[in-house]
Structure 1
Amino acid sequence: MAPRVLVSDELSETAVQIFRDRGVDVDFQPQLGKDKDKLAEIIGNYDGLAIRSATKATEKLIAAATNLKVIGRAGIGVDNVDIPAASRRGIIVMNTPFGNSITTAEHAIALMFAVARQLPAADTSTQAGKWEKSKFMGVEITGKTLGVIGAGNIGSIVISRAIGLKMHVIAYDPFLSKERAEEMGVKKVELDELLANADFITLHVPMTDKTRGILNAEALARTKPGVRIINCARGGLVDEAALAEAIKSGHVAGAGFDVFETEPAKDSPLFGLPNVVCTPHLGAATTEAQENVALQVAEQMSDYLVKGAVSNAINMPSITAEEAPILKPVIRLAEVLGAFVGQVTESAIKEIEILYDGSTAAMNTKALTSAALAGLIRSQVADVNMVSAPIMIKEKGVILSEIKRDKTGVFDGYIKLTVTTETQTRSVAGTVFSDGKPRFIQIKDINLDADVGSHMVYITNTDVPGMIGFIGKTFGDAGVNIANFQLGRKDAGSDAIALLYVDGPVPESLLKTLTDNPAIRQAKPLVFNVE
């Protein structure tokens, strides 16, 4: 029987025909996504669900999708899909990560022009029969400094366009190497330097814990007087209320916003302010982009349902069906190692080395490397997957190398990930035991044996008496239960580490108590997806 796909949002007829041409039985009901009850009633009849943003693939809907194997999102954002719920049900979630890039970059440039020359207000005034030529004095783009926060796929396109407009471009991106910045023709800077020097600031980063409110009141106060701010990335990156106050005070000269903290944006502190241009999340709204992502998602879903091929999956590696049972636990290990390094590294990464020892060297190391890279940069780029991660690493100019060797130690096989930044080198190694669960076996060349938990704390300290008791008491006083406590050191009195597996999130006050101890250099909370 041919696999069945339900298209519950607007996709082009060409995309729908791709399903048919590849042997998929497609049911095209583009308005169904707005009727969640009807959708839940019939979703159990389908193997695939193709959507845009109108359909909400909630936990309730996924629970009713008894036969669903894949959800395909035509676009990059998957906020409307409950990915953990889909993962638990074994449903693959795919997106099309690069189909909207040019369109979104062009929209950012368009907003920059509109704000620089006050075009919307001038248009409204002129069409009202006024001729207020002196009222709308603008500024030139040429020769101005553009600060780009996030130099990934979309940010790099904005950079190339801005250079073509004869702007000076500076960029802040922890994952951007100096070599890649030079290749792009952009000066790599820290955030404070960007804020102090940019005439225009444009944001192109995902929404993560590290980027939320990256332009808050404090950051806005450090910006250059007269700056103009553009946001076509994610609502919440900029504190809208703080920005409104900065515009009212005259410190910020204008803003162009396509995304908002709450969407649909019925009300915002920015609305009605002078020289603020707002659009209703139009970054991907061009005929070309909508067609591109629709065709891509139809091709990807068809390839999976008919051939078993997986591409651009958020929650599953790009591997063949035959490899999946063998690789699955090792892929999880690679992701955990990458996630560990990604969460403890804050400076720009220059080189990545992945060592495959013993049995792991004979596996599909391309998939394993992709999993490690996805884990590594997921703390910065939430929508990354195993297909897009290697591309993003390459675009940032990071040197990547793999080493394969025969078994050298007591383990049948293990993976060691080493990352070199501009300031230091970090390494972590792990293996998979017979229970299929990943384990840490070495950190900073210090041997240990530690389970991987959802919530962990990594501590680096000087090896002095009393540390075990101090750490244990600190967690106990804070009411945080320790499930597992592993220690390691190089030599007596030298560098030591502790890795704790705890039962829940760790409060900031606990971490501060730890780092107030002069023997402790770092106490880093870690979160892993170990489901």
Structure 2
Amino acid sequence: MRALLLESLHPRAHEILHGAGIEVEAHDGAMDEDELIEALKGVELLGIRSKTHLTERVIEASPSLLAVGAYSIGTNQIDLSAAARHGIAAFNAPYSNTRSVVEMAVAEMVSLTRRLAEHNRAMHDGVWSKSAIGAHEIRGRTLGIVGYGNIGSQLSVIAEALGMNVIFFDMAEKLALGNATPMPSLHALLAEADIVTLHVDGRQGNSGFFGREQFEAMKPGAMFLNLSRGFIVDVEALKDGLESGHIGGAAIDVFPVEPKKKGDPFVSELQHVPNVILTPHIGGSTEEAQRDIGQFVSSRLRDYVAHGSTSLSVNLPNLSLDQVQGSHRVAHLHENVPGVLAAVNQVFAEHGVNIDAQLLATRGELGYVVTDVASGLSREAVEVLRNMTGTVQVRVLS
């Protein structure tokens, strides 16, 4: 079995797959569609971060692909529906780098309110400009968190421990942690927050979510952070707000268009704007986070190909499975229609297959039944299952 790992994944990701007897090929950069189609010939497992996109075209051209791992929080770079229709399991790391992103957000809030970027630039230019003008503590200031998920809620707790007042807005109803206050609307939050930080997901519906209207609704002099997705912010509107002084400073880690690999040129309207911190999409890029992500996602890929476990898959029915207990394990992914389980068991009965254990899970349009059999599994029985109406994929694991 072969795995292709792209975008400079942590060595731990390689070690886990290699330790499972999987041949690993690694590349530092991302790949476009044509490159990926060529590279995936004969490859069963794919590991990517945010720059490589697994599109429907790539999926249809890669019949050997069994699973893809997004070594990141988001999965918007994967066509999850197309992957599911072709029996390709998708996994991600929804929690492994939340602490790293939160710590960076705190560091940037302090840096902006103390205007450290400007002081640093002046010192490098040989200018001694000691002054308290425009510098503030974050204690007692109001932090507005837009998106109260894993990252936003953890930031909420830490910010409150630092003495900040925390308000938040989320499209879904969320339980407030500590003394954080939910706001009835985004505009209500913007009217009160001294610092606004975005932590929303990468669904396409969020494109252009934060634009000129939202920047104009912010308090004069408020700071702005985006460590979530680049395409959700109107960068030109942000630049105008910064240059007019309405926005007091900004820290931006993600951009609408980002270079494919380390060392590529980078251009943004926000370059050379005062009190702006620009970083190359490194919110989750600590050695600790990347190690944990490598461990988590590669373990999911290993367990799926070895045991059929789909635990924490983002697009297939979830079954948490241990090692194969019988002689064989038959994993049958199928369309979620009535009668499939009965039909599967009828095939086993007609071919003299004795069932030791069986689990079924469904998710939307898909069902997943895993059957452990002690003996009697014939090639003919497997072929009947494979050709049965509604079958998406059949795998036999030993």
Tell me, yes or no, whether TM beats 0.5: yes
The question of 1:185 aligning with 2:193 is answered: no
Q: Which residue of 2 aligns with 1:117?
A: 114
User: Please, which of 127, 130, 134 is the counterpart of residue 127 of structure 2?
Assistant: 130
User: Please, which of 213, 221, 225 is the counterpart of residue 226 of structure 1?
Assistant: 221
**Where do 1:43-192 residues align within 5 Å?**
43-53=40-50, 55-134=52-131, 137-177=134-174, 180-181=175-176, 183-190=177-184, 191-192=186-187
Q: Which residue of 1 aligns with 2:240?
A: 245
Alignment CA distance shift 1:162-1:279 (3 Å): same
Report the 3-state secondary structure (helix = DSSP H, G, I; strand = E; otherwise coil) of the residue aligned with 1:171. Answer: strand
Is contact 1:117-1:136 (8 Å) kept?
A: no
**Where do 1:436-475 residues align within 5 Å?**
none
Q: Which residue of 2 aligns with 1:279?
A: 279
Separation (CA, whole Å) in 2 of partners of 1:297 and 1:102? 17
Per-residue CA deviations over 1:146-165 (Å, capped at 9, x if unaligned) read: 11111110001110110011
Q: Which residue of 2 aligns with 1:288?
A: 288
The question of 1:12 aligning with 2:10 is answered: yes
Separation (CA, whole Å) in 1 of partners of 2:164 and 2:103? 15
Is contact 1:4-1:27 (8 Å) kept?
A: yes
Structure 1 window deviating more from structure 2 (160-169 vs 86-95): it is: 86-95
Is contact 1:47-1:70 (8 Å) kept?
A: yes
Is contact 1:202-1:229 (8 Å) kept?
A: yes
User: Please, which of 332, 336, 356 is the counterpart of residue 328 of structure 1?
Assistant: 336
Aligned amino acid, residue 178 of structure 2 = M
Report the 3-state secondary structure (helix = DSSP H, G, I; strand = E; otherwise coil) of the residue aligned with 1:295. Answer: helix
Please report how far the alpha carbon of residue 38 of structure 1 lies from its aligned counterpart in structure 2 after TM superposition.
6.1
Structure 1 window deviating more from structure 2 (299-308 vs 73-82): it is: 73-82
Structure 1 window deviating more from structure 2 (142-151 vs 311-320): it is: 311-320
Please report how far the alpha carbon of residue 71 of structure 1 lies from its aligned counterpart in structure 2 after TM superposition.
1.1
Separation (CA, whole Å) in 2 of partners of 1:39 and 1:149? 35
Please report how far the alpha carbon of residue 57 of structure 1 lies from its aligned counterpart in structure 2 after TM superposition.
3.0
Separation (CA, whole Å) in 2 of partners of 1:49 and 1:308? 17
The question of 1:212 aligning with 2:207 is answered: yes
Structure 1 runs not aligned, ≥5 long: 331-362, 373-434, 437-531
Structure 2 runs not aligned, ≥5 long: 260-264, 322-328, 339-357, 365-388, 391-398
Report the 3-state secondary structure (helix = DSSP H, G, I; strand = E; otherwise coil) of the residue aligned with 1:131. Answer: coil
Report the 3-state secondary structure (helix = DSSP H, G, I; strand = E; otherwise coil) of the residue aligned with 1:277. Answer: strand
Is contact 1:118-1:136 (8 Å) kept?
A: no
Please report how far the alpha carbon of residue 67 of structure 1 lies from its aligned counterpart in structure 2 after TM superposition.
1.2
TM score, norm. by length of structure 2: 0.75
Q: Which residue of 1 aligns with 2:393?
A: none
Q: Which residue of 2 aligns with 1:268?
A: 268
Q: Which residue of 2 aligns with 1:196?
A: 191
Aligned amino acid, residue 278 of structure 2 = C
Per-residue CA deviations over 1:384-416 (Å, capped at 9, x if unaligned) read: xxxxxxxxxxxxxxxxxxxxxxxxxxxxxxxxx
Separation (CA, whole Å) in 2 of partners of 1:245 and 1:32? 33
- CA RMSD in angstroms, aligned pairs only: 2.9
Separation (CA, whole Å) in 2 of partners of 1:111 and 1:32? 28
Separation (CA, whole Å) in 2 of partners of 1:78 and 1:326? 23
Please report how far the alpha carbon of residue 213 of structure 1 lies from its aligned counterpart in structure 2 after TM superposition.
3.1
Separation (CA, whole Å) in 1 of partners of 2:211 and 2:51? 30
Residues paired across the two proteins, number: 333
Is contact 2:80-2:90 (8 Å) kept?
A: yes
Identity of aligned residues (%): 34
Aligned amino acid, residue 184 of structure 1 = G
Per-residue CA deviations over 1:258-313 (Å, capped at 9, x if unaligned) read: 11222238333322222111111111111011111111111000100000001332
Aligned amino acid, residue 188 of structure 1 = P
TM score, norm. by length of structure 1: 0.57
Separation (CA, whole Å) in 1 of partners of 2:244 and 2:29? 47
Please report how far the alpha carbon of residue 42 of structure 1 lies from its aligned counterpart in structure 2 after TM superposition.
4.7
Q: Which residue of 2 aligns with 1:303?
A: 303
Separation (CA, whole Å) in 2 of partners of 1:147 and 1:266? 29
Separation (CA, whole Å) in 1 of partners of 2:231 and 2:49? 22
Is contact 2:308-2:331 (8 Å) kept?
A: no
Separation (CA, whole Å) in 2 of partners of 1:326 and 1:215? 40
**Where do 1:376-455 residues align within 5 Å?**
none
Separation (CA, whole Å) in 2 of partners of 1:86 and 1:72? 12
Please report how far the alpha carbon of residue 209 of structure 1 lies from its aligned counterpart in structure 2 after TM superposition.
5.5
Separation (CA, whole Å) in 2 of partners of 1:220 and 1:56? 31
Is contact 1:5-1:47 (8 Å) kept?
A: yes
